[in-house]
Amino acid sequence: MDILRNTLQPITRSLPAPIRDIGLSLVGPDCYKSLILDIDISNTSCLTLALSKTLGLATVAGSSIVKLPQILKLLSSQSAAGISFLSYALETSSFLTTLAYSARNGLPFSTYGETAMIAVQNVVICLLVLKFQGKTVLAGGFLVALAAAGYALQSEELVDMGMLTKAQMGAGALGVASKVPQILTIWQEGGTGQLSAFAVFNYLIGSMTRIFTTLKEVDDKLILYGYIAGFILNAVLAAQMTYYWKAPATASHAGEIGEKPEKIAMGSSTGATPKPKGPTTRRRG
C-alpha cells in the first residue's frame, strides 16, 4: 500500500484546479483529503460516500440515453403496440414534481439529475405514442399541460413549500402507480410489443442504485419510499419482459400493420414467415 501511495500521491496532489474543485464538491474537503490526497482507503465512511456519488453520477449519465432505444424502436416500427401512454404520462407528471421538490430543497444533483433527463425522453415517447394512435390534437394539449404544471411547481408564489411537500407525497405514489398501466397492458396483450428491454432493465438497475444513494446522501423518507416501491414494480416489468421474450407479435400490432394475428404468430414462432404448402407425397409402408 505504501508503494502505491508513494506512486499516486505526486499525481493526486497536482491535479488541475477544475478536477480538484469537482472532487471537493462531490465528497467534501475531509473525504477529498483522505481519499485523494492521503490515499487512505481505510476510511469506510468516505469510501461509501465516494461510491454513492459515483453511482449517482453514472445513473445521471446513463439516464441521458436510457429511453433512446425505446424512441428508436417506436420510430422504426411506426407502431405503439404494447406501450401504455397513461403509464408514461403519469411518470412524467411525477417527475415534474420530484424535480421541483429536489431543486427547491437544495438536494445534491447527483441524487435526482436523471429525473430531468428521463422526463424529456418520456415526453418524446408520449408524443410518438399519441401520433401513432392518431391523437395529434391530444399531443398538443399534453405539452401545454406539462409546461403549465412545470412553471407552477417551480414558482414559490404559486406553490409554496408546504404545498410542494404534499405534492411530492402524491408524486411518489403517482410514480409507483405509473408502472401499473404498463404492467396491465403487457398482461392484456400477452406480449411486450414495442417496449424496449434496454429501458426496462436499466430502469430496474437505476431504481436499485437510487435506493443506495438516497440512503447514503438524503435523509428524506418520501424520496426513499418512492424509490423502493418503484424498484418492486420495475422488477415486475423486468419479469414480464423475460417471460414474454419470445412471444409472437401482439394482436394490436398486427392490426396496426394490417396483417392477421394468426399469420404473424405462425411466422414469429418459426423465425420466418410461413411458406405456402407444396404437394405432399405419401410415404410407402
Question: What residues does each domain of the chain span?
Answer: 2-42, 67-253
| Centroid of chain to Cα 88 | 11
Task: Give Cα separations from 202 to 58, 151, 193, 276 (angstroms).
Answer: 12, 29, 18, 42
What the block records as the C-alpha cell of 17 is 484546479
What's the confidence (pLDDT) of residue 124? 93
Distance CA 228, CA 208 (A): 8
What's the confidence (pLDDT) of residue 284? 40
Q: Which amino acid does the sequence have at 234?
A: N
Distance CA 151, CA 174 (A): 19
What's the confidence (pLDDT) of residue 279? 44
What's the confidence (pLDDT) of residue 127? 93
Each residue's pLDDT, cut to its tens digit, for the chain (285 residues) gives: 667 676 777 777 777 777 777 777 777 888 878 888 778 777 788 888 888 777 777 766 766 777 888 899 899 888 888 888 988 998 898 889 988 988 888 887 767 777 888 888 999 999 999 999 889 888 889 999 999 998 999 888 898 888 988 888 787 778 778 888 888 888 888 877 778 788 788 778 877 887 887 787 777 777 787 778 888 888 988 888 888 876 554 444 444 444 444 444 444 444 444 444 444 444 444
DSSP H helices, 33-160, are: 44-63, 68-77, 85-104, 113-132, 136-154
Distance CA 222, CA 172 (A): 7
What's the confidence (pLDDT) of residue 188? 82
